Structure 1
Amino acid sequence: EEIKYAKKYQIPVPVDINNPYSVDQNLWGRSIECGVLEDPWKEPPEEVYKWTVNPENAPDQPIYLEVYFEKGVPQSIDGEKLSLVDLILKLNEIGGKNGVGRVDMVENRLVGIKSREIYECPAATILLKTYQALEGLVCPRELSHFKPFISKKYAELTYYGLWYSPLKEALDGFVKVISEKVTGTIRVKLFKGNCVVVGRKSENSLYDFNLATYAQGDTFNQNFAKGFIELWGLPTKVYASVSRGED
């Protein structure tokens, strides 16, 4: 009815009866809903996508990119220094041409209603993948395992419109500390909708080849393993013994 009303009174709107989608977009991504998309069983028609090519029609040769971060902030692509805005725009263009960044999901809105949404976010997909890979290289185990809880809550607060909340401000402090070491370069391969990390390096890397290698000459003392295994498995052995009623 709204589309017919707009047409009757010559009010310009970016939709028509055959294309009744609700679209929101900014630098970070593009979201599409309504129309046939309201049926979660139906595959989205190709017409809903504007930023990304169908992965099936993407180039038959992969493209490699190197993204450099400094203290958690992306600085350059393949050595070319760019402003953050220009960097995101460039990744949107490159990723979109390779079919990267399509998301089809049913999400939970603030009031609890489930909504089917289509997203196009090439740059966001590439940057999140590369940042997480670099973070995993430079952060110790406990920090790496805890960070996803923070990320999930941070995203939730943003989605709920609580960007200026005290909790989000407190989480900013955590993110600032963890980002101090996130400096380095990540290499990714873009190919027909996929974004795969294939290389990583950092001056803050905690990866020690001499400890990690299985080849001769490794510096890890294998004799430590036996005692560690005994101690690590002891609580489980005690629990199993008690459960079976053994003395």
Structure 2
Amino acid sequence: MSTPKKVVLAYSGGLDTSIILKWLQTAYGCEVVTFTADLGQGEELEPARKKAELLGISPDNIYIEDLREEFVRDFVFPMFRANAVYEGLYLLGSSIARPLISKRLIEIAAETGADAIAHGATGKGNDQVRFELAAYALNPDIKVIAPWREWDLTSRTRLLDFAEKNQIPIAKDKRGEAPFSVDANLLHTSSEGKILEDPAVDAPDYVYQRTVNPEDAPDTPEFIEIGFERGDAVSINGEALSPATLLTRLNDYGRKHGIGRLDLVEGRFVGMKSRGIYETPGGAILLEAHRGIEQITLDRNAGHLKDQLMPQYAEMIYNGFWFSPEREMLQALIDKSQEHVTGTARVKLYKGLARTVGRWSDQSLYSEEHVTFEDDAGAYDQKDAAGFIKLNALRLRLNAMRARKAGK
């Protein structure tokens, strides 16, 4: 790869990305633009601006943006229309954030005339794949720098030595080994590494940062009503809310009731298995409510087809193929399925669980007169079932006759 002249760095303001910033300047002698995204991680972002300025970045080359609404509206909500879960459990909180960050990196590169982008993902994880696949899908000519795959700062000691030599401030709590690493955004918190690496050992309760222990949650259940339009949540208890505000509110409910905890050993795209502790309080409630409203508004076969395709869709997101043609094709199918997914789901929140206990819609396919155990006034002729059964049994009877003829 030719030496880049200007690089847009995904910059958190933390120690690792600050080291990367200085390393880019020293290793490549290039101009650096920093991009810090507010995806609802719950941290102040202005310190990132001051840190970048301290490291010699001009104010014009520092981008700090609030992307929470775009994140939920254009990435989280489309994913939840599919009820996407990876390996049956994971709500893809990290996976769905990466394409948005890459999108802005590419856009800022175009705005500033940069010829490269850089990220702080390691060479062992999935994020390097997600960042770079998204980047190349949006700009096939972009250069991508992944310092963890290039430099010789292979230990914590070397990283700290580099920081000290280059006058990068080191917080006191960074001197020792961090007990685990954390990734957070409005949808979830992910913790992994160090004390969590042995999958046979329970995760300490202090790992959980976004939810109370379900055992300590209120002893009285709480009921909320979530309104949907065309598959997207639009209100809570009748109050219309923006996408990010709605997810924030659901997070508050989930935190209070200890909802959305997950201890998972997953199969990474790069080949190894890893153990992660995930908290997705609002997302867990949203998934339950969405499935609840789909139960009465989605055609049976359409719903079954969605469920068959969902694992493929979830795997595309997990593996970093958000901007792929196959994901976009599936998204069109999923969005078509949501045309009538409008209505309200009533959800019970209690001791770590979210459970749909009621659902109603003007678009409902549920017909009480057809399913009643009382007199249905001719809405359904039960005699019709005999012919239906005989036709569906025909091939089974023919198979049985053949087996009997063969003496089996």
Fold shared, TM-score > 0.5 on shorter chain: yes
- The CA distance in 1 between the partners of 2:280 and 2:274, in whole Å, is 18
Give yes or no for contact 1:60–1:192 (8 Å, CA) kept in 2.
Answer: yes
Q: Are positions 1:90 and 2:238 aligned together?
A: no
Structure 1 unmatched runs, 5+ = none
1:138 counterpart residue number: 297
- From 219, 224, 230, give the equivalent of 2:390: 230
2:226 is the counterpart of 1:103: no
Distance in 2, Cα, partners of 1:214 & 1:189: 27
2:182 aligned residue: 23
Q: Relative to 1, partners in 2 of residues 1:159 and 1:16: Cα closer, same or farther, differing over 3 Å? A: farther
Alignment-derived partner of residue 148 in structure 1 = 307
Match of 1:39 in 2: 198
**Other-structure match for 2:402:** 242
Structure-2 separation of matches of 1:98 and 1:16: 35
- CA-based RMSD of the aligned residues comes to 2.2
Q: Which amino acid aligns with 1:239?
A: N
**Cα distance between partner residues in 2 of 1:175 and 1:16:** 48
Listed one character per residue, the Cα deviations across residues 106-157 of structure 1 (whole Å, up to 9, x for unaligned) are 1111122111111000111111111122122111111010101332222211
Q: Is the partner of 1:163 in helix, strand or coil? A: coil
- Aligned partner of 1:125 among 284, 289, 296: 284
- Structure with bigger gyration radius: 2
1:216 deviates by 2.3
1:210 has 2:364 as partner: no
Contact 1:3 1:16 in 2 (8 A): no
Greater RCO, CA 8 A, separation 6+: 1
Per-residue CA deviations over 1:172-204 (Å, capped at 9, x if unaligned) read 211221111111000000100011000001111
Q: Distance in 2 between matches of 1:170 and 1:13?
A: 49
Assess, with a 3 A threshold, how the Cα gap between structure 1 residues 154 and 213 changes in structure 2: closer, same or farther. same
In 2, distance between residues paired with 1:118 and 1:15?
22
Q: Which digits, 9 at most, give the CA deviation of each residue in 1:60-104, with x for residues without a partner?
A: 000101000111111110011111101001111111110000011
- Structure 2, unaligned stretches of length 5 or more? 1-154
Do the aligned partners of 2:370 and 2:376 also contact (CA within 8 Å) in 1?
Answer: no
| Aligned match for 1:78, one of 220, 237, 253 | 237
Instruction: Decide which moves more: 11-20 or 193-202.
Output: 11-20
Which portions of structure 1, spanning 4 or more consecutive aligned residues, are displaced by more than 6 angstroms?
13-16
Q: Residue 3 of structure 1 contacts residue 15 of structure 1 at CA under 8 Å; is this kept in 2? A: no
Query: Following TM superposition, by how much is the alpha carbon of 1:4 offset from its aligned partner in structure 2, in angstroms?
Result: 10
**How many angstroms apart in 1 are the aligned matches of 2:186 and 2:174?**
21
The change in CA–CA distance for 1:3 and 1:27 in structure 2 (over 3 A counts) is farther
Cα contact 1:15–1:21 (8 A) shared by 2 = no
- Paired positions, count: 247
Contact 1:189 1:197 in 2 (8 A): yes
Contact 1:162 1:168 in 2 (8 A): yes
What SS does the aligned partner of 2:405 have? coil
Q: Distance in 1 between matches of 2:336 and 2:390?
A: 36
Alpha-carbon distance between aligned partners in 1 of 2:335 and 2:399, rounded to the nearest angstrom: 41
> Do the aligned partners of residues 222 and 122 (structure 1) sit closer, same or farther apart at CA in structure 2, a change above 3 Å counting?
same
Q: 1:177 aligns with which of 313, 321, 336?
A: 336
